[in-house]
Amino acid sequence: MLRICLPNLSPEQNQITIPPDKVHYLRTVLRCKHGDQLLIFDGQGNCYRTSISTVTNREIKAAMIEKVSCDTESPLHIVLVQALLQREKMDFVVQKTTELGIREVIPAVTTRSQIRTTRKTVRWKKVSEDAARQSGRSVVPIIHNVMAFPEILHAVRDSAGLLFAVDTEMEVSLAVKTLKQKFQQNPGDDNRLYLLIGPEGGFTDDEMMMAHNKGFSLTSLGPRVLRAETAAISAVTLLQFLLGDMN
Please check whether residue 51 is in contact with residue 62, taking contact to mean a CB–CB distance below 8 angstroms. yes
Per-residue pLDDT of 35-46, as tens digits, reads: 999 999 999 899
Q: How many whole angstroms separate alpha carbon 173 and alpha carbon 104? A: 30
Report how far residue 168's alpha carbon sits from residue 178's, in angstroms, rounded to the nearest whole number.
10
The amino acid at residue 138 is S
**Amino acid letter at 122?**
V
> How far is residue 83 from each of residues 97, 108, 125, 168, 229, measured CA to CA in Å?
14, 4, 16, 13, 10
pLDDT band at 47 (very low <50, low <70, confident <90, very high): very high
Summarised one tens digit per residue, pLDDT across range 79-105 is: 999 999 988 999 999 999 999 999 999
pLDDT, residue 59, reads 86
Q: Assess whether pLDDT exceeds 80 at residue 51.
A: yes
More confident residue, 231 or 160: 231
C-alpha count within 13 angstroms, C-beta hemisphere, residue 232? 33
* Annotated domain spans of the chain: 2-68, 77-242
CATH superfamily of 2-68: Hypothetical PUA domain-like; domain 1 (2.40.240.20)
Instruction: Say if 2-68 and 77-242 have the same CATH topology.
Output: no
Position 49 confidence tier, pLDDT thresholds 50, 70, 90: very high
Q: What is the pLDDT of residue 219?
A: 86
| 84-107 per-residue burial string, b: 16 or more CB within 10 A, e: under 16 | bbeeebbbbbbbbbbbbbbbebbb
- Per-residue pLDDT, 172: 47
Alpha carbon distance 82, 168 (integer Å)? 13
Q: Which ranges of the chain would DSSP assign to H, the alpha helix? A: 20-24, 89-100, 121-134, 149-156, 179-185, 205-213, 228-242
Residue 177 pLDDT > 80, yes or no?
Answer: no
Query: Residue 11 half-sphere exposure, CB side, CA atoms within 13 Å?
Result: 8
Residue 20 clears pLDDT 50, i.e. is over it:
yes
d(Cα 130, Cα 121) in Å, to the nearest integer? 14
CATH 3.30.450.20 fits 77-242, yes or no: no
Residues 142 and 98: their CA atoms lie apart, in Å, by 10
When pLDDT is cut at 50, 70 and 90, the band that residue 186 belongs to is low
Span 133-166, pLDDT tens digits = 999 999 999 999 999 999 999 888 666 567 888 8
Closest CA to 48 of 87, 7, 103, 90: 7
Alpha-carbon separation of residue 192 from 1, 103, 133 (angstroms): 31, 10, 23
Q: Count how many Cα atoms sit within 13 Å of the Cα of residue 153 in the half-sphere of its side chain.
A: 21
87 close to 228: Cβ distance less than 8 angstroms: no
151 Cβ partners below 8 Å, 6+ apart?
Answer: none
For the chain, what's the residue count?
247
